[in-house]
Structure 1
Amino acid sequence: MKKLITLAIVLFCAVSLQAKGDLHLFSVDNKDGKITPYMIEEALNNGGFHVELNSNMIGPFKKQFKETQYKVFTLMTFWSKKYTRDLVIKYPKAGVFTPMGMGIYQAKNENTLHLSVLSAEAQGKILGIKDLSLLKKIETDVLAVIKKNFPKAKHTYSEDSLKTSHNLVTVYEMEVDEDEDPDDVLDELQMNLEGAFKPYGFVVPQFMDLNEVLTQDATKESPFDFYITYSICKLPVIYTVSKSRPEASAFAPCTTMLYKKKGENKVVVGFPAVYNWLSSAKVEDKEAKATLLKAQKDFESILKDITE
């Protein structure tokens, strides 16, 4: 009986060690405050990535909510100069992670700086991709940058994700006439989309013409008439979730894709649903869940309106 109990404990420990959540978490001593988001931006830019956004949220938190429990809380977005083109051409929905996000945060009462970024497996799950080879290459490069520049950082994973039955990418499609000029279609969609953000409390800290990356500044062909992405933020969402699950900042700002493939008479619009925050970051706080679900409903309303 003693041997069986011992064996059970060993097996349990093995399973526990192998269990991985959806988020890579890094913790590094930053008592002196010398490690800054700008250092991380420079490290990524020098490591094969292009940083699109480096957004310090402390000021906005204090301005709108009068306080924050963090001395560092930054949202960073970036994309791979090596693999993004191949990834999006092969899997158009991968635009919802172009750029992808990294959360950088440190509470006022601690000496440790934290980084949070989605794993390749989590991105594959969200996108419905079985072949993770390109996502794995990007992941390998991200981890290499962090480990090279912060060799003393402790690497762990988030808790096991919660199960969800919801679609993890919310997508809407709109039919267009064959003879419509793609530029005119894009102009109208952008005008309608951007006009709808503010009334619902969304802001756009970053816009990206992804087709410039896909054509590599007009030196290569792109399968898309247009492909743009918006980084979308809703401050109450980020602030509320940060109080209990700061690692969810890897999902913020949310990247919204808007594209039309050549030869197709439809436009595709989509974004990673908030069910990813609830599942991957294991958001269980009642207020945070309510705020996220309200944002999901509001954003769905916007996309329905512009695609109907």
Structure 2
Amino acid sequence: MKKIVLLVAAFLCAASLQAKGDLHLFSIDNKDAKITPYMIEEALNNGGMHVELNSNMIGPFKKQFKETNYKVFTLMTFWSKKYTKELVDKYAKAGAFTPMGMGIYQAKGEDTLHLSVLTADAQGKILGIKDPLLKKIEAQVLAVIKKNFPNAKHTLSEDSLKTSHDLVTTYEMEVDEDEDIDDVQEEFIMNLEAGFKPFGFVVPEYMDLNEVLTEDGKVESPYDFYLTYSICKLPVIYTVSKTRPEASAFAPCTTMIYKKKDEDKVVVGFPAVYNWLSSAKVENEDAKKELLKAQKDFESILKDVTE
């Protein structure tokens, strides 16, 4: 009987990790509140990642909405010091997850801290690529969590919902051969940033990805420029967090802006909100409304700057 029980337990554990969910979910006992986002940031930095953003959302939630159900709600972004350069050199779209995100949250009255991060398969599905580098980055992240939090319970999210929408929204702007690249970049960024505030978007972090790709000017990059903006709209993450806090793995949204040296165009794009709806199974009507409005608003900004 003991063997049967053990076999059943092993089967259930294996089955939970063989689900087709798009999110790695970790649950860590944190009754004494000793585990903090700063500890997780340090662990990631020491484990081969580079943390770009560690944003505590409790203050903004309380300031704008007067209340929150969480005592911890942090958005963290990071990239792999070992593999990101190679990945973005090969696939321009990979910048949509450079940096990638991790949601860190713990509800009031709860003893468990939760971590949420996209699987490599989910990233590949969204980007439309299959490459072992995605698995290598995933392995780095999982190794950091398992090393520093060995008692963490690891599961995968529920199976994702099907969607017929494009998972990365992109727009292009043609560039004349005789245009100065620095002027093109400066004007494009100026127009893009001017469009954020009227629609309520904020930029908690900005990254010159070409500095990573050129190793600070030591090697050539296939891009004239490559920038990424971490974009956030507070009503979106606040409303979604009420029912699907694990969707915080998508926040803030990384917007990529690049021009390849062998192309006469600037490309701008971001992982569409349909990923939130699909991967995190966001079905609450208020949350869906906020997400779809954000998609529409951000598309209108990108249309304006690329026309």
Correspondence for 2:4: none
CA contact (8 A) 2:104 2:115 kept: yes
Deviations 1:239-262 (A, max 9, x none): 000000000000000000000000
Correspondence for 2:93: 93
Correspondence for 1:135: 134
Q: Tell me how far apart the structure 2 counterparts of residues 297 and 264 of structure 1 sit (CA, whole Å).
A: 28
CA contact (8 A) 2:24 2:154 kept: yes
Correspondence for 1:187: 186
CA displacement at 1:263 relative to structure 2: 2.2
Correspondence for 2:245: 246
Q: Tell me how far apart the structure 2 counterparts of residues 16 and 51 of structure 1 sit (CA, whole Å).
A: 29
Aligned residue for 2:143, secondary structure, equals helix
CA displacement at 1:20 relative to structure 2: 2.8
Supply the AA of the counterpart residue of 2:205: Q
Q: Tell me how far apart the structure 2 counterparts of residues 289 and 110 of structure 1 sit (CA, whole Å).
A: 26
Deviations 1:59-107 (A, max 9, x none): 0000000000000000000000000000001011000000000000000
Deviations 1:130-184 (A, max 9, x none): 23x0000000000000000000000000000000000000000110100111110
Distance 1:167 1:218, change over 3 A: same
Distance 1:144 1:13, change over 3 A: closer
CA contact (8 A) 2:17 2:156 kept: no
Q: Which runs of 5 or more residues in structure 2 are unaligned?
A: 1-10
Q: Tell me how far apart the structure 2 counterparts of residues 241 and 102 of structure 1 sit (CA, whole Å).
A: 15
Supply the AA of the counterpart residue of 2:54: N
CA displacement at 1:14 relative to structure 2: 8.1
Among all aligned residue pairs of Structure 1 and Structure 2, give the percentage whose two residues are the same amino acid.
84
State how 1:265-304 maps to structure 2 within 5 Å: 265-304=264-303
Correspondence for 2:70: 70
Q: Tell me how far apart the structure 2 counterparts of residues 104 and 113 of structure 1 sit (CA, whole Å).
A: 7
TM-score by length of 2: 0.95
Aligned residue for 2:32, secondary structure, equals coil
Supply the AA of the counterpart residue of 2:207: M
CA displacement at 1:193 relative to structure 2: 0.4
Q: Tell me how far apart the structure 2 counterparts of residues 142 and 264 of structure 1 sit (CA, whole Å).
A: 34
CA contact (8 A) 2:17 2:155 kept: no
Deviations 1:22-65 (A, max 9, x none): 00000000000000000000000000010000000000000000
Correspondence for 1:215: 214
Q: Tell me how far apart the structure 1 counterparts of residues 147 and 15 of structure 2 sit (CA, whole Å).
A: 29
Correspondence for 2:304: 305
Task: Provide the aligned length of Structure 1 versus Structure 2.
Answer: 297
State how 1:78-157 maps to structure 2 within 5 Å: 78-131=78-131, 133-157=132-156
Runs of 4+ deviating beyond 3 Å: 11-17
Correspondence for 1:197: 196
